[in-house]
């Protein structure tokens, strides 16, 4: 709870609300969670940010594809920077969002995932708390699809705060 409180205070101080004449379509996802929670030896807190531009999208047979770009860092100094797409499905105040984001991984003092190129698949469920804010929970799996000599993968969960500017 202490980490969540610190995260919210950090967000409020660093990103004060401001008024725009029009909604620009910029959506930011700030998240905290546990990297590789299923590996007792290598699990670590993680902190991340993700940008979603709602003005850039493609309508497909799967639904609306939106580009996403983001990064996270763990308490063990592992880093992942990624870009890909998500497919949000809104139902009332809830949104279910699967995503796929290839990226670059640096293990730092954390887990060796076997390759610098890693693929993140994620599912997120969020709840709209106002016209411009959502809270959510997400789960992801990161894997190198056997590009490296080893492919241990990592399973993570996150708590999300999503804000539209």
For 20-50, what is each residue's pLDDT tens digit? 334 457 899 999 999 999 988 889 999 999 9
pLDDT in tens, 98-131: 999 999 999 999 999 999 999 999 999 999 999 9
Instruction: Return the number of other C-beta atoms located less than 10 Å from residue 69's C-beta.
Output: 15
pLDDT computed for residue 24 by the predictor: 58
What are the residues facing 91 on neighbouring strands? 94
Phi/psi at 2 (5° precision): -65, -40
Site of tokens 């950090």: 10
Total number of residues shown for the chain: 165
Q: What is the pTM of this model?
A: 0.83
46-105 per-position pLDDT tens digit: 999 999 988 888 888 888 899 999 999 999 999 999 999 999 999 999 999 999 999 999
Domain 31-164 fold: Porin (2.40.160)
pLDDT for the residue 20: 37
Burial 111-150 (b: 16+ CB within 10 A, else e): bebbbeebbbebebebebeeeeebebebebebbbeeeeee
Angle ∠(32,111,114) on CA atoms, nearest 5? 120
d(CA 149, CA 112): 11
């Amino acid at each position: 709870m202490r980490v969540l409180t610190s995260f919210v205070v950090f967000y409020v101080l660093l990103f004060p609300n401001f008024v725009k004449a029009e909604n620009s379509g910029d959506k930011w996802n700030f998240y905290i969670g546990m990297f590789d929670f299923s590996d007792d030896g290598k699990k670590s807190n993680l902190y991340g940010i993700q940008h979603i531009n709602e003005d850039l999208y493609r309508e497909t047979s799967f639904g609306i594809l939106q580009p996403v770009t983001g990064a996270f860092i763990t308490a063990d100094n592992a880093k992942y920077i990624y870009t890909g797409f998500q497919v949000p499905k809104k139902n009332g105040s809830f949104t279910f969002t699967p995503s796929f984001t290839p990226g670059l991984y640096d293990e730092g003092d954390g887990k060796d995932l076997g390759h610098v190129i890693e693929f993140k698949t994620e599912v997120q469920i969020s709840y709209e708390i106002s016209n411009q804010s959502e809270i959510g929970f997400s789960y992801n799996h990161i894997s190198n699809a056997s590009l490296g000599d080893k492919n241990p993968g990592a399973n993570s969960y996150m708590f999300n705060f999503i804000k539209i500017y």
